[in-house]
Structure 1
Amino acid sequence: MRILLLGCGNVGSDVARQLVARHPELDCVVGDLNQAAAEKLAAKLGPRVRAVKADVLDPACLDTLLDGMDLVFNAVGPFYRSAVPVIEAALRARVDYIDINDDHDVAETLFLDPSWQQRALDAGIRLIIGCGSTPGLTNVMARMLVDRLDTAEEIHLATAVPFIPDLLSPAVIDHMMHITCGEVQQFVDGEYRKMPGWGGRLEVPYAAPFKAYPSFFIGHGETVTLPHCIAGLKQVTNRLAFFPEAGSRIWQSMIDLGLGRTETIDALGLSPLKFLTHHLSSIAGRESMAIDLSSEPWAVASRVEVRGLRGGVEVCSVLEHHLPLPLEQSEDSTADPTPICARLVIEAWMDGQVRGQGLLAPEQCLEPEPYVRAFARESGAQFIASETQLQNDLFA
């Protein structure tokens, strides 16, 4: 089996390390625009791993790389630039595709236009989109809760992360500004609607050691794919909180100052966003953004809330996962659980456990309980479940 792994950043490299360690029989090719980074990674992974230069915006390059492959895994961000070109190449080569796309507009492009499903079916391949932690794991958590109900009407997702400037790499800042500026897709009253990014403030409660945090709309694939894959939903929302609240206020101020804008300033030769990524990569920038986290958990929390009916009773089911952050960052360990999530999907594909054909989201092609249990076992994340009955007039 031959797998092309695109992207040798933290997540892509970690996926490659995990796969090769667990499946030494695989023939893996690791590719990156920075060929030296790919060669360094391949040298560490062993003789069955080959390094190549990969330009995901060059169709001819992609066609050559995908020739003879069984699967291409895309970890090249930002996905609003890379996803569609690699998917087009996968369709041409008739090669299955998996990614960790976390940009809402890519999900909109693919899932709200039925031609992509038809093209994937015609090519006889699977395009599995958004297989990280969020979206990805969160979608499957939602599906697991939905499957325990007779009908589901609402899904509300939220994530709370500590505001740590050292973790705001240029790629993270680019992505975060992309999903919080302008308008973002939510699913409201049975319709897809554009809502103001970093709007919709709501106090979202988390289980201890977390608490309630003011949370704000973000653009993520879940609000596109969950209503597409699960019939009968009326509401699907997704919010993010930085904690403590000072972190969210800092983020709001950067949006308000236009620092997420991508238009080049002629006098400087760079955009506000490019300036911001450079500024936050500097010692002065990180020091200026530092806030006191001493009374907050050194961890990340994700929360999935599903409301619906079981046996005629209206219920609200909540599933959270809490994942501690590493005390020290290393090459082989990132704070992001996405590599584990993505590798589990690749292994499900390898084992023939992916259901469905064509264009797929994790919530429609993975067995929810085994996937969530595998993630809990391998990540050390703590899962907390709760359920309450609702008053009858809430669904009137």
Structure 2
Amino acid sequence: MRILLLGCGNVGANVARQLVARHPELELVVGDLNLAAAEKLAGQLGGRVQAVRADVLDPACLDGLLDGADLVFNAVGPFYRSAVPVIEAALRARVDYLDINDDHDVAETLFLDPIWQQRAQEAGIRLIIGCGSTPGLTNVIARMLADGLDSVEEIHLATAVPFVPDLLSPAVVDHMMHITCGEVVQFVDGEYRKLPGWGGRLEVPYAAPFKHYPAFYIGHGETVTLPHCIPGLKQVSNRLGFFPEAGSKLWQAMIDLGLGRGEVIESLGISPLKFLTQHLSSPAGRDSLCVDLSDEPWAVAMRVEVRGRRGEAQVTCVLEQHLQLPVEESEDSTADPTPTCARLAIEAWLEGRIQGQGLLAPEQCLVARAYVEAFARDTGAQFIASEISVQPALYA
């Protein structure tokens, strides 16, 4: 079995490490625009791992790399630039595709236009989109909770992240600005709607040691794919906030100043966004944007809330995950759940446990409870579950 893995950054490299450790029989090709990075990773992994130079924006390069592959896994961000070119190559080569796409417009392009489902089915392949932690694990958790109800009306997702400039790498800033500037898709009253990014403020009640934090609309694939895959939904929202609230206010100020814009300023030869990505990773940026975290947890909270009915009762189910952040940076840190989420999806593909054909989201093609249990087992993740059930009033 030959897998082409594109992108040798932190996520791609850790997916490769996990796959090689568990499946030494695999023929793994690791590709990156920076050939030295791919060669370094292949050298570390040894075995049957081959390094190649991969330019995801070069169709001829992709066509050559996909020749003979059984699956292409795409970890090259940002996905609003890389996903569709690699998908087009997979369609041409008739090779299954899997990624960790976390950009809303890619999900919109693929799932809101039936031509992509048609093309994937005609090619006889699977296009499996968004198999990271969020989207990915969040979608599957939502499906698992929904499966415990007779009907589902609403799904609301929220994430709380400490505002730490050291965590805002250039790639993270690029992605975060992309999903918070302009308009983003939410599912409201049974239809997709464009709403202002970083709007829709809502106080979210996270479990201890977290507090109640304000959260704001972001553009992510969940609000596109969950209504597509789970019938009967009327509301799907996705919000994120930094804590303490001063971090969210700083982010709002950067949006308001136009620092998320990608147009190049001719007199400077650089865009506001390019400046911001570099500034936040510089000593000056880190010093000027620090907030007081002394009274806050060194962790991230991810919350999935599903509302529906079980029998006559109105039920609200919540599952929350608290992810501890590493104290020290490590090349192969497992603190980021995304590589494990992706590896579990790839293993489901390897073992023939992917359900469905054509264009697929994780909540429709993975066995929900088994996937969540495998993630918890492999990572030691702890989930906090709660449920409120309200019976209808009885009148004489």
State the TM-score, normalizing by the size of structure 1: 0.98
Moved over 2 A (4+): 389-393
Q: 1:324-335, aligned counterparts within 5 Å?
A: 324-333=324-333, 335=335
Q: 1:174-213, aligned counterparts within 5 Å?
A: 174-213=174-213
Deviation at 1:390, TM superposition (A): 3.9
Q: Say whether the 8 Å CA contact 2:139–2:226 is kept in structure 1.
A: yes
Residue 363 of structure 1 is matched in structure 2 by 363
SS in 2 for 1:133: coil
SS in 1 for 2:61: helix
The reply to whether residue 344 of structure 1 matches residue 341 of structure 2 is no
Q: Say whether the 8 Å CA contact 2:312–2:391 is kept in structure 1.
A: no
Residue 129 of structure 1 is matched in structure 2 by 129
Deviations, residues 260-306 of structure 1 (Å, cap 9, x unaligned):
00000011100000000111111111111111211111111110111
Q: Say whether the 8 Å CA contact 1:91–1:123 is kept in structure 2.
A: yes
**Matched AA of 2:270:** L
The percent identity for this pair of structures is 81
SS in 1 for 2:320: strand
Q: Say whether the 8 Å CA contact 2:219–2:238 is kept in structure 1.
A: yes
Residue 39 of structure 2 is matched in structure 1 by 39
Residue 223 of structure 2 is matched in structure 1 by 223
SS in 1 for 2:278: helix
Q: 1:1-396, aligned counterparts within 5 Å?
A: 1-333=1-333, 335-390=335-390
CA distance in 2, matches of 1:336, 1:216: 22
Deviations, residues 87-146 of structure 1 (Å, cap 9, x unaligned):
000000010000000000000000000010011001110000000000000000000010
CA distance in 2, matches of 1:4, 1:310: 44
Matched pairs, number: 393
Moved more, 285-294 or 92-101: 285-294
Structure 1: gaps spanning 5 or more residues: none
Q: Say whether the 8 Å CA contact 1:323–1:380 is kept in structure 2.
A: no
SS in 2 for 1:159: strand
Deviation at 1:391, TM superposition (A): 7.1
CA distance in 1, matches of 2:47, 2:151: 51
Q: Say whether the 8 Å CA contact 2:163–2:242 is kept in structure 1.
A: yes
State the TM-score, normalizing by the size of structure 2: 0.98
CA distance in 1, matches of 2:269, 2:392: 59
Q: Say whether the 8 Å CA contact 1:316–1:388 is kept in structure 2.
A: yes
SS in 2 for 1:277: helix
CA distance in 2, matches of 1:80, 1:13: 21
CA distance in 2, matches of 1:30, 1:194: 37
SS in 2 for 1:268: coil
Aligned alpha-carbon RMSD (Å): 1.0
CA distance in 2, matches of 1:12, 1:228: 28
SS in 2 for 1:232: coil
**Matched AA of 2:209:** P
